[in-house]
Chain A
């Protein structure tokens, strides 16, 4: 059908546009880094800016399926993987800032800092859990894993909760920002109450029904 062909071209254009849009924060951060515009505390600024965008993309990713249900259109789901991978991308830049700038790639520094900083342990855990999701994000992997793919990718709810706690845990006194993130996450998780209920219901209870 003519309509379908047209929309395929449109899709290409739209996806490219969204892709570039998702890269804009990274370009802005890089620009500021290169031009010495990160302010008095550049490492901290980079931590916050890359961390903020990680959480934002995570929440955007989690918005796609409720949006599909609410708007009764499959369009949002077609962007979910891209947003998910951008979450991983920004999380990776966040990790790089920590590894290279904060820890100067020194194992000694890390061995000292990690045990003394619970929020770092949680952040590292959340990042480790993101890696398998990024690896299995291809269509091939989806097909190969089948039902197990869905189960594996439910880890994203845990990752999101870890991410928000990570933010709370490092905050000194003013919890306004992490609160906003956790409120949004709460709403997004509420859309999944069926899934979450199933996860938290003991197996024996399921087999009875």
Chain B
């Protein structure tokens, strides 16, 4: 299989691949589990597509030295435990509803403080990028985490190609707004469309990834297909999904969760075990896929990426700029 042609597999990386192969056979089991758990009303009435999600292999990517040396969370959990309120507020909703999203063709509007604004076909954007696999830890603001082998390209590369002006201080991202494709948008849970933002230096950091796939496949819809952001040192809600617009601005952009609860979700949202959420502790995290009696994991400052990003926040009061 194409997947096995990946060059230079180090010995310590063999486990994830085996795990991946096992997880393929687990997918149908996980579907049955949905039924059993009552998330399967739709399934039972035959509304769930039998073809399922994504599955197209991505063959041309290299491995990144920025990857964690850890076993990824099983594929079935990565693709069935999702916060993607555009498809519903429960974790299982996106996997059930995301088939409604049409990701081909897909275009991304790039505008604002750039020399080359325009509406770009995603395929044209991708032609100019070098895809790589990056195994990152994803830490959710709800105090759980998983390890995901993303495939994508550096946001910095894309921004450079768009020739930012000197006024480009921030980057604003916008998710698709289409309640027909994203039925969760029919409820006013968050203000749609979802928007997120980064400071330009955060956006240009080598860790910041525009992801188009995971586990060697094209991005499953429920994980934010066809193009999503990954900012591994920030809480998961910063990593906006199904992006249709990237705007470079001089002003700090408005961001969805911050708009919905200003004192709970800040613009920065850096993973920080010593600054608790107003209603819960951030000092530990539940590890998705871990056996029942596994103690929770100690949350690391900047989710463990302090070496690469602590410099960005030197001199800042992180309790105030949470």
A172 at the interface (CB under 8 A from B): yes
Q: Does B123 contact A (CB under 8 A)?
A: no
Q: Which residues of A contact B85 (CB under 8 A)?
A: 173
Choose from B189, B190, B286 the contact partner of A41 (Cβ within 8 Å). Answer: B286
Complex contacts, A116 vs chain B, CB 8 Å: 276, 280-281, 283
**Residue among B37, B142, B144, B286 making CB contact with A172, cutoff 8 Å:** B142
Q: Is B89 among interface residues, defined by CB-CB distance under 8 A? A: yes
Given the known interface contacts A172-B142, A173-B89, the answer about A40 and B281 at a Cβ–Cβ threshold of 8 Å is: no
Could you tell me if B292 and A113 are in contact, using CB atoms closer than 8 angstroms?
Answer: no
Asked whether B295 is an interface residue with its Cβ less than 8 Å from the other chain, the reply is: yes
* A43 B89 Cβ-Cβ under 8 A: no
Given contacts A39-B33, A173-B89, A173-B260, contact A33 B292 (CB under 8 A): yes
B289 touches A40 (CB 8 A): yes
Report yes or no: B292 in contact with A37, Cβ–Cβ below 8 A.
Answer: no
On whether the beta carbons of B292 and A43 are closer than 8 Å, the reply is yes
User: Which chain B positions have C-beta within 8 A of A172?
Assistant: 142
Chain B residues contacting A117 (CB-CB under 8 Å) are 276, 279-281
**Chain A 37-63: CB-based contact to B (< 8 A → 1; otherwise 0):** 111111110000000000000000000
Tell me the complex Cα distance, A38–B30, Å.
11
Cβ contacts B188-222/A at 8 Å (1 or 0 each): 01100000000000000000000000000000000
Q: How far is the CA of A106 from the CA of B295 in the complex (A)?
A: 10
Residues B288 and A102 in contact, CB atoms below 8 Å apart: no
List residues of chain B with CB within 8 A of the CB of A112.
281, 283
Give the distance in Å from the alpha carbon of A43 to the alpha carbon of B145 in the complex: 13
B32-63 toward A: CB 8 Å interface, digit per residue (1/0)?
01001100000000000000000000000000
1/0 per residue A109-129: CB within 8 Å of B?
A: 100110011110000000000
Number of A residues contacting the other chain (C-beta, 8 Å)? Answer: 26
B280→A119 contact, CB < 8 A = yes
Selected from A101, A102, A118, A173, the residue in CB contact (under 8 A) with B190 is A173
Q: Give the docked Cα–Cα distance between A100 and B296 (Å).
A: 11
The answer to the question of A149 belonging to the interface, with a C-beta cut-off of 8 Å to chain B, is: no
Docked-complex contact A173 and B292, CB < 8 angstroms: no
Neighbouring A residues of B73 by C-beta, 8 Å? 40
A40 and B296: CB pair below 8 A? no
> B286 contacts which of A44, A119, A169 (Cβ < 8 Å)?
A44
Q: How far is the CA of A100 from the CA of B159 in the complex (A)?
A: 48
B189 touches A104 (CB 8 A): no
Complex Cα–Cα for A119 and B260 (A): 20
Partner of A38, one of B189, B190, B292, B293: B292
Number of inter-chain CB pairs below 8 Å: 65
A42 touches B292 (CB 8 A): yes
Residue-wise interface mask of A (79-121) relative to B, using a CB-CB cutoff of 8 A (1 in contact, 0 not)? 0000000000000000000001110101001001100111100
Shortest Cβ distance from residue B103 to the other chain A in the assembled complex, whole angstroms: 24
Q: Are B281 and A113 in contact (CB under 8 A)?
A: yes
CB distance from B275 to the nearest CB of A (A): 10
Residues 8-49 of A contacting B (Cβ, < 8 Å): 33, 37-44
Interface residue? A141 (CB, 8 A): no
Question: Is the C-beta of B20 less than 8 angstroms from some C-beta in chain A?
Answer: no
Instruction: State the CA gap A40–B145 with chains docked (Å).
Output: 11
With CB as the reference atom, state the residue of chain A lying closest to B92. A39
Given the complex, which residues of B lie within 8 Å of A33, measured CB to CB? 292
CA distance A174 to B80 in the complex (A): 19
B36: which A residues are within 8 A, CB to CB?
37
| A169 CA to B277 CA, complexed, in Å | 12
Separation in Å of the A108 CB from the closest CB of chain B? 10
Q: Is A198 located at the chain interface by the 8 A CB criterion?
A: no
Mark B80-93 against chain A: 1 for CB-CB distance below 8 A, else 0: 11000100010100
Chain B residues positioned under 8 Å from A41 (CB to CB):
81, 91, 144, 286, 288
Q: List 25 A-B contacts (CB under 8 A).
A: A33-B292, A37-B33, A37-B36, A39-B37, A39-B80, A39-B81, A40-B80, A40-B288, A41-B144, A41-B288, A42-B292, A44-B144, A101-B292, A109-B284, A112-B283, A113-B281, A113-B283, A113-B284, A116-B276, A169-B279, A170-B280, A173-B89, A173-B190, A173-B260, A174-B189
Closest 4 interchain pairs by CB?
A40-B81, A40-B77, A174-B89, A116-B281
Given contacts A33-B292, A38-B292, A44-B144, 20 further A-B contacts (CB under 8 A): A37-B33, A39-B33, A39-B37, A39-B80, A39-B81, A40-B73, A40-B80, A41-B144, A41-B286, A41-B288, A42-B292, A43-B292, A44-B286, A112-B283, A113-B280, A116-B280, A116-B281, A119-B279, A170-B279, A173-B260
Chain A positions near chain B (C-beta within 8 angstroms): 33, 37-44, 100-102, 104, 106, 109, 112-113, 116-119, 169-170, 172-174
